[in-house]
Amino acid sequence: MKKLGYGYCSSSKATIVFFFFIHVASILVTQYTEAFDPLIQLPRTTFTKTRTRTRPRSRRLISLLDFSAIGDGIHNDTQPFLEAWKTACSLPGFVNVDIPYGKTFLIHPVDIDGHCRSKITLRILGTIVAPKDPAMWYGLNQRKWLYFHGLNHLTVEGGGSINGMGHEWWAKSCKTNSTIPCHPAPTALTFHKCKNLKVNNLTLLNSQQMHLAFTSCMRVVASHLRVLAPPSSPNTDGIHISICKGVEVRDTIIRTGDDCISIVRNSSRVWIRNITCGPGHGISIGSLGKSNVWEKVQDIYVNGVHLFNTDNGVRIKTWQGGAGFASKITFQNILMENVSNPIIIDQYYCDSQKPCENQTSAVKVEGISFIDVQGTSATKEAIKFACSDSSPCEGLYLENISIVSASCSRGNVSSYCWQAYGSTRGFVYPPSCLLSNDNFIKQRVWLGSNHATNSI
C-alpha cells in the first residue's frame, strides 16, 4: 500500500499550486467554449439549387387536445395520450405529437410499443406529471412510468417538463428509512431497445427513482437537458445508460440525489461532454459485477465536466466476485469544487445492508486515464485506487492533475493505492502512488487513437 501527500497548506508552495490551478482553470474555460465535433455524425442538409426546388416533406400535427385531454393536472389524461400516440403511429411519414404549452397533463404509467409506420417527434411543450400516490402502480410494473420501447427515429423535445412527483416514493424508500424493506420505484422516462433516438431540450423533475434511462439502445443523442431533484432524494440518478452502444450526452445540467450519470452493464462507445453535476454522486462507471455476473464497459470518453459539492467525482465501482472488464475509459478536462473522493476506483464496492464477503474474482479494470483534472477536495484522499488482490488495476494514467484541499483546516490531501499499476505525466498533485508497469506505451497509443476518432 502507498499513501502520499504534501504539506502545501502550511508552506509557500500553496501559492504555486494556487496560481497553477487558476492557469489551468482558465484553459479549461476556453476549452469548454470551443465547439466539439459531434460524436454521432447526424445527417447534414446540403443546400443546392436543386434542393431548394424540392418540395419539403409534409409533417402532420397531432395535439392531445384533439383527443379530449383536459390538461389541468387533476383529470387523468392517460387515455387521450395513448389515443394520440396510436393515431400518430398509424400514419406514414413524419408526425408531431404535441403536449401543448401552458397545460399540465396527468399521465398514469404507460407502455408505448414502437412498431410505428411514422417517424414521430414527441413535442413536450407543457408539463407531464405522474400520479402522486404510489398505489396507482398497484398490479403494474413498479419500475416504469413513461416507458417507450422498440422505437426507431424517435425525437423527444420541446422545452417542457416531466415531473415524477416522487416525494411519497422517497419517504417509503429503505434508503430514507432503514427499518422498512426495500421496494422498487419507477424510472420516470425509459427508452428500451430504441435506435436513432434524440432527447433534447427538456426538464426532468423529482423522479420516483432514476430520471432518464437508456437500456439496450443504439445511436442516442441526449442534449440540453435539466435534471433536478433534492440532494436527499434516494436513488434518483440523473441519466442511466445500460447495455447501450453509441450514446452521446452533452450540454446538460444534473442536480440529483444519486449519480449524475451512471454507465453500466455491457455499454460501449459512450461520449459525455459539457456536463454540470452537483449536488449528487458524480460521474460513475458501474457498479459492475454484482451477484457474480460477467459485465463489461469500454470505450468511454468523458470530456468537460464541472462538478461541485458532490459525494464523488469521477469513479469506477465494482463488486467483489464479478467478472468481465472496464477498459479504455478517459476522464478529461474535469473541474471540481468541494468534491468528496474526486478520483476513485473502488473494486470493493458494497452497497448492502449486510457486509459483503471477500471474494477472489473481480471485474478487470485497465486502461483508465485521468487527464487535466483540477479543483478542490472535501476529503483527505483526493485520489483513491483500491484494486483487487487477484486482479490488480493496470494501465492507469494520470496527467496534469491538481487537486488541493477545499479547506486547509481539514488537512492536506493525499493519494491512496492498493494493487494499482500505471504511470504519470506532467504535474500531478497529490503526488502519485501508482506502481510502475509496462503498459505505458500501449496506453498512450490507445489515447491517441481515441482522440483521432470521435465519431460513431
Residue 5's DSSP bridge partners are 414
Mapped onto helix, strand or coil, the DSSP state of residue 30 is: helix
Residues 163 and 245 in one domain: yes
Q: How many helices (H) and strands (E) does the chain have?
A: 5, 29
Residues 161 and 239 in one domain: yes
Name the DSSP letter for residue 35. Answer: P
Residue 150 lies in domain: 60-256
Q: Dihedral of the CA atoms 66, 70, 76, 79 (nearest 10)?
A: -10
Between CA 118 and CA 151 the distance in angstroms is: 10
In contact, 95 and 120? CB cutoff 8 Å: yes
Residues 74 and 5 in one domain: no
Residues 407 and 270 in one domain: yes
Q: Which of 192, 240, 281, 306 is catalytic?
A: 281
Between CA 114 and CA 193 the distance in angstroms is: 9
Q: Mean pLDDT of all residues in the chain?
A: 88
* Residue from 283, 274, 250 nearest 333 by CA: 274
CB atoms within 10 A of CB 442: 14
pLDDT higher than 70, residue 150: yes
In contact, 368 and 395? CB cutoff 8 Å: yes
Q: Dihedral of the CA atoms 78, 79, 83, 84 (nearest 10)?
A: -40
In contact, 123 and 157? CB cutoff 8 Å: yes
Domain final residue pick, 256, 273, 296: 256
Residues 8 and 143 in one domain: no
Give whichever of 158-167, 353-362, 433-442 has the largest mean pLDDT.
158-167
* DSSP letter for each residue of 394-405: EEEEEEEEEEEE
In contact, 323 and 397? CB cutoff 8 Å: no
- Total domains present in the chain: 2
- The verdict on whether omega for the bond into residue 287 sits within 30 degrees of 0, i.e. cis, is yes
pLDDT digits (tens, 9 = 90+) for 239-290: 999 999 999 999 999 999 999 999 999 999 999 999 999 999 999 999 999 9
In a domain, 46, yes or no: no
In this prediction, residue 31 carries a pLDDT of 43
pLDDT higher than 70, residue 351: yes
In a domain, 41, yes or no: no
% pLDDT > 70, the chain:
83
In a domain, 47, yes or no: no
pTM of the model: 0.86
pLDDT higher than 60, residue 369: yes
Give strand ranges (E) for 256-392.
261-264, 267-277, 283-288, 294-308, 314-318, 323-339, 343-346, 364-377, 381-386
Would you state the cell numbers that stand for residue 167, as one nine-digit string?
416525494
Residues 4 and 136 in one domain: no
In this prediction, residue 163 carries a pLDDT of 98
In this prediction, residue 353 carries a pLDDT of 77
pLDDT higher than 60, residue 447: no
* Residue from 289, 183, 276 nearest 228 by CA: 276
Residues 247 and 318 in one domain: no
In a domain, 66, yes or no: yes
Residues 340 and 194 in one domain: no
Residues 15 and 125 in one domain: no
C-alpha Rg value of the chain to the nearest Å: 23
In a domain, 93, yes or no: yes
Residue 248's DSSP bridge partners are 221, 271
The domain that holds 363 is classified in CATH as: 2.160.20.10
pLDDT digits (tens, 9 = 90+) for 222-238: 999 999 999 999 999 99
Would you state the cell numbers that stand for residue 306, as one nine-digit string?
464541472
Domain final residue pick, 225, 240, 256: 256
Residues 155 and 220 in one domain: yes
In a domain, 12, yes or no: yes
* DSSP letter for each residue of 61-120: EEEGGGGT---EEEEE-HHHHHHHHHHHHHSSEEEEEEE-TT-EEE---EEEE---SEEE
Residues 215 and 94 in one domain: yes
Q: Known catalytic residue: 281?
A: yes
Once rounded to an integer, what is the mean pLDDT over residues 46-54?
Answer: 41
In this prediction, residue 444 carries a pLDDT of 44
What pairing do the DSSP bridges indicate for beta strands 110-113 and 239-242?
A: unpaired
In a domain, 44, yes or no: no
In this prediction, residue 49 carries a pLDDT of 39
% pLDDT > 90, the chain:
78
Residues contacting residue 287 through CB under 8 Å, at least 6 positions apart: 264, 317, 318, 319, 349, 351
Residue showing cell 424510472: 187
In this prediction, residue 5 carries a pLDDT of 55
Residues 139 and 250 in one domain: yes
pLDDT digits (tens, 9 = 90+) for 84-127: 999 999 999 999 999 999 999 999 999 999 889 999 999 999 99
CA distances from 235 to 27, 206, 288, 293, 447 (A): 34, 11, 16, 22, 33
Domain final residue pick, 230, 256, 282: 256
CA distances from 30 to 24, 27, 302, 355 (A): 10, 5, 17, 46
Find the DSSP H helices in 91-216.
Answer: 167-171
